[in-house]
Amino acid sequence: MTKLRLSRLLNSVSLAALGALLLAGAPGVGTAADAVGEIRIGFLSQTPEPPPSVANPDEPAADDGLAGASLAIADNNTTGKFLKQSFVLDRVEVAPDGDAAAALRELAGRSDRFVVVDAPGATVEALSKLPEARNLLLLNATAPDDVLRGSACAANLIHVAPSRAMLADALGQYLVKKRWPRWFLVTGRRPEDKLYADAVRRAAKRFGAQIVAEKEWTAESDVNRTAESEIPVFTQAKAYDVLVVADEVGEFGDYLSYRTADPRPVAGTQGLVPTVWHRTHEQWGAAQLQSRFKAAAKRPMTARDHNDWTAVRVVGEAAARARTADPDRLIAFIQSPDFTMSAFRGAPLSLRPWDGQLRQPVLLAADRSLVSVSPQEGFLHPRTELDSLGYDQPETLCKTRGKTTP
């Protein structure tokens, strides 16, 4: 009703008056009229084909990720009904070798100004550079690549998933706190494994740990049959405290525990894993999100589900806080120091203005138990302890986002 009346009014006034009206309405929080409305969020997903060699006992669900986004839309709408805001998820799935740019154009064509991208880092980077993406806000939900936050950063791109540097720092702080500073780093053969290993090396340097030995896993054989004989030989290294493994797709990392030459714990991409979410996490109201998700999806929430949930909730929380459905105002508000949201991990999440990264606590989980939550006590930071994880303001390699202090 209000909306209709406003649009009639706009049609009837002169162009000059219209300009004045728009200017007057621009600053500050939304007025009653623009608080109301529909907010469309695109959901662009692309799942890389798993390599054939992986023996995966836990086949990911077909709706892995999407189920998190869908629950967040429902959560946004429950809140939205009190503010007369409604949220719509426009979903496009891109094949592993499909045309992601065309998918983004399609979403932009449906006037989606927010697009959650659940895709590999290369796709995220390519999409952020499209002319059609200039006026959008892309929410990188899952790609952990530090380069996206560094030299490839973009004003229209924010990062919901923690970067590899944040994950490695979260693990590194814990290992150092435990006084397990000597690490044996085992890296897989894929490019992303090298990046994970780089992040582990960086964490070691930051927190005073040492990489006492390094090896690359190159075996082509079916590790499932040969692990018992191969791994004890492979893991003969000089004295170390923890074996840190970098194997993102899970080709061999799960076979290391209990087979190392020395009795040592395994951490990294397998064993004790830094992650945003775990099925055993229940603190800070997490039990409620777990049960809400389980009721809706009939399975436990994964880290990918949680990242997509958070991405869609960023938009919903901003719309409720800024009391506006106007996309330009929402995009500005999300990137302002006033934006914070709860994501069931204790400390509030907010955006680092220097690289567009959502600052957040990181869980450290074993298969069936939550072991700890980083940042660890004692890793201090003048702004927030959360900024002890990942690239801090003075270290950022992002040059295009400006470096205003939050």
Partner 1 sequence: MTAARFTGISLAALIAATLASAASAQTIYVSNEKDNTLSVIDGKTMAVTDTIKVGKRPRGITLSRDGTQLFICASDDHTVQVFDLASKTVVHNLPSGEDPEQFALSPDGKSLIIANEDSNIVTVVDVPTRKVAFQVDVGVEPEGMDVSPDGRWGVNTSETTSMVHWIDMEKRSVVDNTLVGPRPRYAQFTKDGSQLWVSSEIGGTVSVIDTATRQVKKVVDFHIKGVAKDRIQPVGVKLTDDGRYAFVALGPANHVAVVDARTFEVKDYLLVGRRVWHLALTPDQKMLYTTNGVSGDVSVIDVDSLKVTKTVKVGRYPWGVAVKG
Note the residues at the interface with partner 1 (CB under 8 A). Answer: 75, 78-79, 82-83, 285, 288, 291-292, 295, 317, 320-321, 323, 340-342, 346-348, 384-386
Work out how close the CB of 119 gets to partner 1 at its nearest, in angstroms, rounded to a whole number: 27
Q: How far apart are CA 153 and CA 397, in angstroms?
A: 9
DSSP class of residue 38 equals E
Which residue, 31 or 79, is less far from partner 1 as judged by CB? 79
Give 35 or 153: the residue with its C-beta nearer to partner 1: 35
How big is the CA angle at 22 (ends 16 and 26), to the nearest 5 degrees?
150
Least distance to partner 1, CB of residue 292, Å: 6
| 350 secondary structure, DSSP code | E
Shortest Å, Cβ 250 to partner 1? 33
**Residue 119: phi, psi to the nearest 5?**
-155, 165
Q: Which is nearer to partner 1, 157 or 341 (CB)?
A: 341
Q: For tokens 């162009």, what's the residue?
A: 15
- Cβ atoms within 10 Å, residue 255: 21
Which residues face 245 on adjacent strands?
186, 268
Smallest gap, in angstroms, from Cβ of residue 381 to partner 1? 9
Q: Which is nearer to partner 1, 269 or 335 (CB)?
A: 335
How far CA 51 is from CA of 56, 59, 188, 216, 230, in Å, comes to 10, 13, 13, 18, 21
Least distance to partner 1 from the beta carbon of 114, Å?
A: 19
CB 133 within 8 A of CB 381: no
- Distance (Å, whole) CA 270 – CA 330: 38
* Residue closer to partner 1 (CB basis): 74 or 211: 74
Cβ contact 308:69 at 8 Å: yes
- Written as one letter, the residue type at 280 is T
Q: How far is the CB of 222 from partner 1 (least distance, A)?
A: 44
Beta carbon of residue 348, minimum distance to partner 1 (angstroms, whole number):
5
Are 281 and 304 contacting, i.e. CB atoms less than 8 angstroms apart? no
Choose between 156 and 372: whose C-beta lies nearer to partner 1.
Answer: 372
Identity of residue 109: G
For residue 128, what are its two tokens?
A: 């952020």
Question: Residue 351 and residue 336: Cα distance in Å, rounded?
Answer: 8
Task: Please say which residue, 83 or 397, places its beta carbon nearer to partner 1.
Answer: 83
- Closer Cβ to partner 1, 74 or 249, answer by number: 74
Could you tell me the smallest distance in angstroms from the CB atom of residue 284 to partner 1?
8
Please give the Cα distance from 60 to 38 (Å, whole number). Answer: 32
Q: Which is nearer to partner 1, 226 or 288 (CB)?
A: 288
Sequence-ordered list of residues with C-beta below 8 angstroms from that of 15, at least 6 positions apart, any chain: none
Token pair recorded at residue 266: 């395994």
- At closest approach, how far in Å is the CB of 285 from partner 1? 6
Least spacing, CB of residue 288 vs partner 1, in Å = 5
Q: Which lies closer to partner 1 via its Cβ, residue 259 or residue 321?
A: 321
Burial of residue 111 (CB within 10 Å: 0-12, 13-18, 19+) is exposed
- Write out the two tokens for 351: 């955006």
Phi, psi (rounded to 5 degrees) for 144: -90, 5
Neighbouring residues of 189: CB distance < 8 A, sequence distance ≥ 6: 216, 217, 218, 251
